[in-house]
Amino acid sequence: MGIDGSGKSTAANALAEGLRQEGFRVDVLWLRFNNVLSKPLLAFCRLIGLTRREIVGGVLMGFHDFYRSRIISWLFVFLQYLDALRVRWLTLQPKLSDPNRVVILDRYVYDILVDLIVDTHLYRLHAGPAGKAFARLLPPWTRVVACVRPTHELVAARPESGQDPNFPLRLLLYEKIFSFEGVETLCNDGSKDDFCRQIIKLGGLAKHD
């Protein structure tokens, strides 16, 4: 997990390659947006003006202003949970029965929680019952790795982030989640090769270091 530009995909792909060299079957899944059950609500919010699109730093970005309605905010949280639950059992579970398979999730429940808090302004969501319900969607043996990168490098990698009004809030929310028990951090403050060596070592593949 981690904010845009922190190096999640780079880490996931490096780890996947190292694991494949060890003989594992590896799936890399990007699971940030799983909108199926929540699509009708998103369409309704588009009609009433609670979603909008703006060009930020030359990039078209979408914004959800669900915080303007507490009912819609909680309804969206509930539907997003159901969508994440659907992915957990229909997409992930069939892969978990293979003892020689590793599933790497490039974004999932914690990144979804950050998005939800930004959209709804339910600032304690991650620490309450809803946040705990999302966290329980991860299999108990899951290793949660947070990619951390200096702010100026994040903005250099994603220039539009520096112009996103929600960027400071996202940073703050990720910092809070990074402190959760069991979350390991991967510091991306050097070269790409150094960063990839870190994730390979973290994955128990030190001989590829």
pLDDT tens per residue, range 68-100: 999 999 999 999 999 999 999 999 999 988 888
DSSP 7-19: SHHHHHHHHHHHH
pLDDT above 90 coverage of the chain, percent: 81
Q: Is 206 a residue whose pLDDT tops 90?
A: no
Q: Are strands 183-187 and 144-148 parallel, antiparallel or unpaired?
A: parallel
| pLDDT value of residue 60 | 86
Q: Is 173 a residue whose pLDDT tops 90?
A: yes
Average pLDDT for the chain: 93
| pLDDT value of residue 138 | 94
DSSP state of 186: E
Q: Is 44 a residue whose pLDDT tops 90?
A: yes
Q: Is 160 a residue whose pLDDT tops 90?
A: no
User: For residue 202, what pLDDT band results from cuts at 50, 70 and 90?
Assistant: confident
pLDDT above 70 coverage of the chain, percent: 98
| pLDDT value of residue 145 | 95
Do 189 and 150 touch, CB atoms closer than 8 A?
yes
Closest to 174 (Cα-Cα) out of 12, 166, 87: 166
Max distance between CA atoms of the chain, in angstroms, equals 56
pTM, two decimals, is 0.93
All domains in the chain, ordered by first residue: 8-52+63-203 (3.40.50.300)
User: For residue 209, what pLDDT band results from cuts at 50, 70 and 90?
Assistant: very low
Residue, of 176 and 208, whose pLDDT is higher: 176
Number of H helices, E strands in the chain: 9, 6
Mean predicted confidence (pLDDT) in 111-126: 97
